[in-house]
Structure 1
């Protein structure tokens, strides 16, 4: 006597047929392979049996009195408790329409009588395997969802912590800077060259820390939900002008030439989109070639994914393409602070803003010739 495969041993099979000899034959075939078998002589008994104990697979005849197999199947599939049970029709009906009707009623498979034993066993095993895989997938999806929810909570807690910690650090830091300034102003003669140098180092370091805290605060605010609810229609031209006004000092000092085409109206958060433009253009100004005035071009086109694709192109020192997405990592620096001051958060913030708006951010660069940053924003639906 052969047995069912180990993982399918003792699986419950319900056979529904109004012909007792068919029930006996099928029951013996399946029982000999290690399956638990229940029998029902009509549709009503089958429905009652399913409510009492859910079978793993149902073998269902079509031509039965009072309630045919199609109705039995439809009623099982309309009940949330039984809708996921695989139903294999076994019938002498060979017309294509009968088979189509069986599948339309919710059947998973169809076997024509007279049947072959090995075919029945193979079909039963096949649907038990599918059922088992679906169950495992359901468990894995539930576990992934739980992990994702845990990750979202952890990220939110981390962002809130960064916001609170950064905010609380600003006051004592301003006290340090203020007192260092007072010492420099009131006791410059007594301090001497060494003391003046020490205080200058304190003030410079405190300034760097202030900038880092401000960047961390900005970064943490991007992650505080519900961001999408604050989205509104934004004229990108207006946002760009705001960013240019904030950079007016750097633009004038560097002799930057900035041009732009007409930009579209998008849906988003105004302050964050302004920060996005400002950070990318500030980088273009900072990472310029020696003795070369920065040239920055801002343009936009609609791509074939129904997105607005923005490009901010510069003629700066360029980025090694091998750096890839590392340049978007927080605190990752390509150059020393003394060479190019900064906190290393600017592009990380840009990436987060773009992703929160449902877009993508990437770059293309040639060392010594310049860089193009691209980002997409969803197009407004008419």
Structure 2
């Protein structure tokens, strides 16, 4: 069972202890955080929270008034609203404002906690996936409406040009226009493929064992042509990562392939020089790094380059859809990890990601 993080916000210490005790008896591997009021809970330096038990009435405030803030701070958390008195209107209002479930304090027991946690976590995860699919559909429509206009116009123009050239007997011009038409078709094909990769990550989540070295070799094999043409120098170091771990290999290969391809693409005016390494950290997580000596990323762009359609300044003339790094972030998030970039413009870049090297399903946010 995946370890989860639970936050209890209640001014009654006895109620907090009760919920903590019931959680420990309910077969949930939970790390529990406590706060006596909303202000204290927001001041805590907390990790990602999976479940929140929120008291309705506290001195000088109500938990209901802060539901939106809790949803904003921890959007993937199930929020269980608690009150000392049963009130159907309050229950409806709390659900309307974003609570996952509602319970009166006299009804809190081990069975109720187990049911709420099991159903609530599953409900929030299902809703998160629905919302993510909606965002993906919005991404899809944005690409179709915006990014496809230019290559479609180019293809239509080139088709007319070919027709005119053939009619006039200028076969050399027709052949040249046909070559450009193929380039435009390839651009649209690449755009569709990158979009499909970004949207369809949920369809295959079968886990299998792999090693860091094997994942890297598969990525480099897929990029053999690009590496040869660019005369890239690729150095690898997996001396500290011999042990296999459970993951979804095709998706992690895709991440490495994207990162190495970017290092080749954004090498600047010199041959690409790339170093790929991996190691297990003290917490048992697997850390990958892809280091290059290319164009680098401006500091003010580091937080944005993993967003869909965001590309660095000075890269307009280079091919790409702006979805590669967004897809990488999505894959690493599905594996329960994080991805980042450290760089300075003109000084190369280091892309790293950290994933749990465990046997639990990384594509499920919470197991019950």
Q: Same-fold call, TM > 0.5?
A: yes
Q: Which structure 2 residues correspond to residues 122-271 of structure 1 after superposition, within 5 A? A: 129=58, 133=62, 138=81, 140=94, 143-145=98-100, 149-156=126-133, 159=136, 187=166, 190-191=169-170, 199-222=178-201, 224=202, 227=205, 230-262=206-238, 263-264=241-242, 265-271=244-250
2:290 equivalent to 1:312? yes
| Structure with greater helix share of residues | 1
Distance 1:287 1:190, change over 3 A: same
Partner of 2:320: 342
Alignment CA distance shift 1:134-1:226 (3 Å): farther
- SS for the counterpart of 1:375 is strand
Q: Post-superposition shift, 1:266?
A: 2.6
Any gaps of 5 or more consecutive residues in structure 1?
Answer: 1-76, 78-126, 167-172
1:188–1:196 CA contact under 8 A, matched in 2: no
Aligned mates of 1:165, 1:375 — CA distance in 2: 28
Report the count of equivalent residues: 246
The CA distance in 1 between the partners of 2:183 and 2:210, in whole Å, is 38
Q: CA deviation at 1:134?
A: 6.3
CA deviations on 1:285-344 (whole Å, 9 max, x unpaired) are: 111131x22111111222233311111111111111111221111111224665321111
Once the two structures are TM-superposed, the CA of residue 187 in structure 1 deviates from its matched residue by 3.8
- Provide the secondary structure at the position in 1 that maps to 2:291: strand
Q: 1:242 to 1:193 in 2, by over 3 A?
A: same
Inter-partner Cα distance in structure 2 for 1:362 and 1:128:
40
Aligned to 2:300: 322
Quick one: structure 1 residues 381 and 206, their matched pair in 2 at CA, closer, same or farther if it must change by over 3 Å? closer
Which structure has the greater CA radius of gyration?
Answer: 1
Aligned match for 1:376, one of 345, 354, 361 = 354
| C-alpha contact 1:312 1:373 (8 A) present in aligned 2 | yes
What pairs with 1:352-363 in structure 2 (closer than 5 Å)? 352-363=330-341
Matched with 1:275 is 254
Q: What CA distance in whole angstroms lies between the structure 2 residues aligned with 1:215 and 1:188? A: 37
Shift of 1:366: 2.4
Cα distance change on mapping 1:380 and 1:148 into 2, 3 Å: closer
Partner of 1:302: 280
Give the CA deviation at 1:251.
0.8
CA contact (8 A) 1:257 1:296 kept: yes
Structure 1 residue 190: deviation in Å?
A: 2.1
Deviation of residue 356 (structure 1)? Answer: 0.6
- Give TM-score, length-normalised by structure 1: 0.54
Q: SS in structure 1 opposite 2:246? A: strand
Q: CA RMSD in A?
A: 4.2
Shift of 1:148: 7.2
Deviations 1:152-189 (CA, angstroms, capped at 9, x unpaired): 324335647988999xxxxxx9xx79x96xx69x9497
Q: Which residues in structure 2 correspond to 1:57-68 (within 5 Å)?
A: none
Task: Please state how far the C-alpha of 1:209 moved relative to its aligned partner.
Answer: 1.1
* SS in structure 2 at match of 1:271: helix
What is the Cα deviation at residue 133 of structure 1? Answer: 4.3
Specify whether residues 144 and 283 from structure 1 end up closer, same or farther in structure 2 by C-alpha distance, changes over 3 A only: farther
Does the C-alpha gap of structure 1 residues 129 and 286 become closer, same or farther in structure 2, counting only changes over 3 Å? Answer: closer
